Amino acid sequence: MARRCAPTLARFIANVRRHKTVAAHMTARQKSIALGIGLLVLGLAFVFVALLMVLPVAVNLPDSWFGAMLAFVVMAVGIACMYFGGQRLWITQLATPRMPCGKTRTLDRTIRHLATMNVQVDWLELKRHTNRLWYANYCLYAYLHPFRNWLLYVGKVCGCTVRQRLQGKHKEQVFRDIEREYGIESVRVLVGGLLLEAGRRRTPELIADVESLLIYRLKPYANISASRSRINRPGLAISCTGAWPFVRTGFRDV
């Protein structure tokens, strides 16, 4: 009896964990959208108050310079809130990519035929510090040699931004090892957005599986975890497109 119930119980536990992960991801996205909308509304309120202050202040100039400065500060705060609110909504939209229609670079046909889950990772190099993808979330990132196409590190972003992962204290040892080994003080940064098939959800577990498969196959210098052993996800197939600089673009888990 126990042997018969064990597989059913295992499937039930796996389904519960999967639903909890999806619910947590959707909650984080909803919070981000609510924060963006709240900042926009707050910014509009500040701008409206500043406009109400402008008319009486302008009539009483030059005796009300303090009021003029106060109106300017309120206006600036409103514009800043609107900017950051719009940026938050834009980042949330970028962090939820969908598989594009039309002519796109697809997975290798052999891998696609054998796989049960196809994931396309579209890479983009961050050349400017003002690029919005520095604030992307739920994606992959990679560090490359500044002058050669050498892969130094592959990581994932879940719950923070690409810029935070670059500047965090947890990366100090990684950059010290890279500088000691290659004699470089900077790296190129690539961001990889996951494009999934219809009906698939971009969960932290899936992102972790994609990251570990790339690390296991490519063995970047600064990656220690998953470079020798990892938990397999049979049927997972990855196709790297966009600014991916290497000849091999397809990877499959067995």
From the first residue on, what is the mean pLDDT of each consecutive set of 10 residues in the chain (254 residues)? 44 47 52 79 84 67 67 83 76 50 46 70 92 93 94 93 83 89 93 92 92 93 73 89 94 88
Are 219 and 170 part of one and the same domain? yes
CA atoms 129, 89, 210, 199: torsion sign: negative
Are 191 and 231 part of one and the same domain? yes
Q: Residue 41 has what pLDDT?
A: 87
Are 38 and 115 part of one and the same domain? no
What b-and-e string marks burial along 99-130, b requiring 16 or more CB atoms within 10 Å of the CB? eeeeeeeebbeebeeebebbbbbbbbbbeeee
CATH number of the domain encompassing residue 227:
3.40.1440
* Domain-located, residue 102: no
Q: Residue 63 has what pLDDT?
A: 57
Are 119 and 159 part of one and the same domain? yes
How many other CB atoms are there within 10 angstroms of residue 238's CB atom?
Answer: 26
Are 61 and 153 part of one and the same domain? no
Q: Residue 132 has what pLDDT?
A: 92
What b-and-e string marks burial along 164-173, b requiring 16 or more CB atoms within 10 Å of the CB? eebeeeebee
Domains: count for the chain:
2
Give CA–CA dist 3/217, Å, rounded.
37
Are 233 and 120 part of one and the same domain? yes
3-state helix/strand/coil string of the chain: CHHHHHHHHHHHHHHHHHHHHHHHHHHHHHHHHHHHHHHHHHHHHHHHHHHHHHHHHHHCCCCCHHHHHHHHHHHHHHHHHHHHHHHHHHHHHHCCCCCCCCCCCCCCHHHHHHCCEEEEEEEEECCCCCCHHHHCCCEEEEEECCCCCCEEEEEEECCCCHHHHHHCHHHHHHHHHHHHHHCCCCCEEEEEEEEECCCCCCCHHHHHHHHHHHHHHHCCCCCCCCCCCCCCCCCEEEEEEECCCCCCCEEECC
What is the domain range of residue 48? 2-94
* Domain-located, residue 150: yes
How does pLDDT run across 224-253, given as a tens digit for each residue? 765 566 778 888 999 999 999 999 999 998
Are 165 and 191 part of one and the same domain? yes
Q: Residue 3 has what pLDDT?
A: 44
Predicted TM-score (pTM) of the model is 0.55
Domain termination site, one of 66, 94, 122:
94
Are 83 and 125 part of one and the same domain? no
Q: Which residues pair with 251 in a beta bridge?
A: 238
Q: Residue 9 has what pLDDT?
A: 41
CB 141, CB 157: distance < 8 Å: yes
Domain termination site, one of 94, 123, 146:
94
